[in-house]
Amino acid sequence: MPTKFPTLLVERKNDYKTWVPIYCPAIRAYVFFNMQGFNHLRFKIDNTPRKPKEAMYKLGLLPLVRPVIHTATSVDKYERRLSPIGGTRKKVLKEIEYWGLVASVGKQNTKVRVVLRKIVRGQNIHFWSVMKG
């Protein structure tokens, strides 16, 4: 598995960099794809690396992210809270909104959850995370 990880990482990163914003009917807004979201697949919120198995799991689900955003018709979970940002050990707290979208997508009709994030008084809504279920 460790030898597959760097290859998968490079492939997914190159693909991800080509993604353009797409409209999400569930939140009635465009979702952007920045490197913060991609990096969150590899690193936890405190900037510690995820285990390669966990990172590969998330990278493997990446092709299903856009179909979930495009087809989700409602928000499964919404939260607004103070969260640390910046990736440093020095915790900078900002008010952040999170949306959880769930849809069954792909060839196997897999149930996938996508998390979107918006830093209040900051950026656009952007992709943050992906997982099954």
Share of the chain above pLDDT 90, in %: 73
Residue type, 8: L
Question: Vertex 80, ends 48 and 21: CA angle to 5°?
Answer: 75
Segment 34-52, tens digit of pLDDT: 999 999 999 988 788 999 8
Segment 1-13, tens digit of pLDDT: 456 888 999 999 9
Share of the chain above pLDDT 70, in %: 94
Output the pLDDT for position 132: 93
CB atoms within 10 A of CB 8: 16
What average pLDDT does the chain have? Answer: 91
CA distance 45 to 67: 25
Q: 38-60 b/e with 16+ CB inside 10 Å = b?
A: bebbbeeeeeeeeebeebbebbe
121 vs 105, more confident: 105
Output the pLDDT for position 27: 96
CA torsion sign for 53, 33, 121, 92 is positive
Output the pLDDT for position 1: 47
The DSSP letter of residue 68 is H
**Is the entire prediction scored with pTM above 0.85?**
yes
Output the pLDDT for position 95: 93
